Amino acid sequence: MTDARPHTSSQPYTPPPARVPTGQKSWALGFIAWAPLPVLPLIGAAIVMMAVRPSAERSGHAVAAENARHAANWALTVLIMLVALALYVAVLAVAVPDARQGFFPIGFAVIGYLALAVAHGILTIAGTVVAGNGRVLNPRIAIPFIRSR
């Protein structure tokens, strides 16, 4: 028969040390784009990635602030590319009456969107992993809209 009493230790309980913010959340929120809808989740992910930047900067940790800044720059780059692709399709729809016949020229926008989605997926995974290890990911393909202070 076992003793039903809880085990008491001679040492008092000490909680584990608090985890230092690394900005991993700034990158991980990019996974919102994987929702099974076209375009809208990618827009939502970019907006959320930019929205968490101020809280990471207030944390007082340089790695978290840098990762949040780079994630926000990538998010802004994604939004700019989506606007450019939408404008391309709109101009084709108005200016080129034969644009709806066949895959091209509208197909360039489809290929561009797929390339952007793949790049976003790769950078979201890489950023989440790198930030989780306490390092900073600086994606060179992101336009540096937000400069470091």
Q: Give this prediction's pTM.
A: 0.84
Instruction: Please give the residue range of the domain that contains residue 71.
Output: 24-132
Q: Which residues contact 144 (CB under 8 A, 6 or more apart)?
A: 73
Reading the chain (149 residues) residue by residue, the pLDDT tens digits are 565 666 666 788 888 888 889 999 999 999 999 998 888 999 999 999 999 999 999 988 999 999 999 999 999 999 999 999 999 999 988 888 776 778 888 899 999 999 999 999 999 999 999 999 999 999 999 999 999 87
Q: CA 60 to CA 40: how far, in whole Å? A: 32
Split into its structural domains, the chain has a count of 1
Measured between its terminal Cα atoms, the distance across the chain in Å is 65
* 9 in a structural domain: no
CA atoms within 13 A on the CB side of 64: 15
The answer to whether residue 37 is domain-embedded is yes
Contact 18, 33 (CB under 8 A): no
Residue 6 lies in a domain: no
What pLDDT was estimated at residue 125? 97
CA 57, 61, 65 angle in degrees (round to 5)?
40
Tokens linked to 99: 């644009």
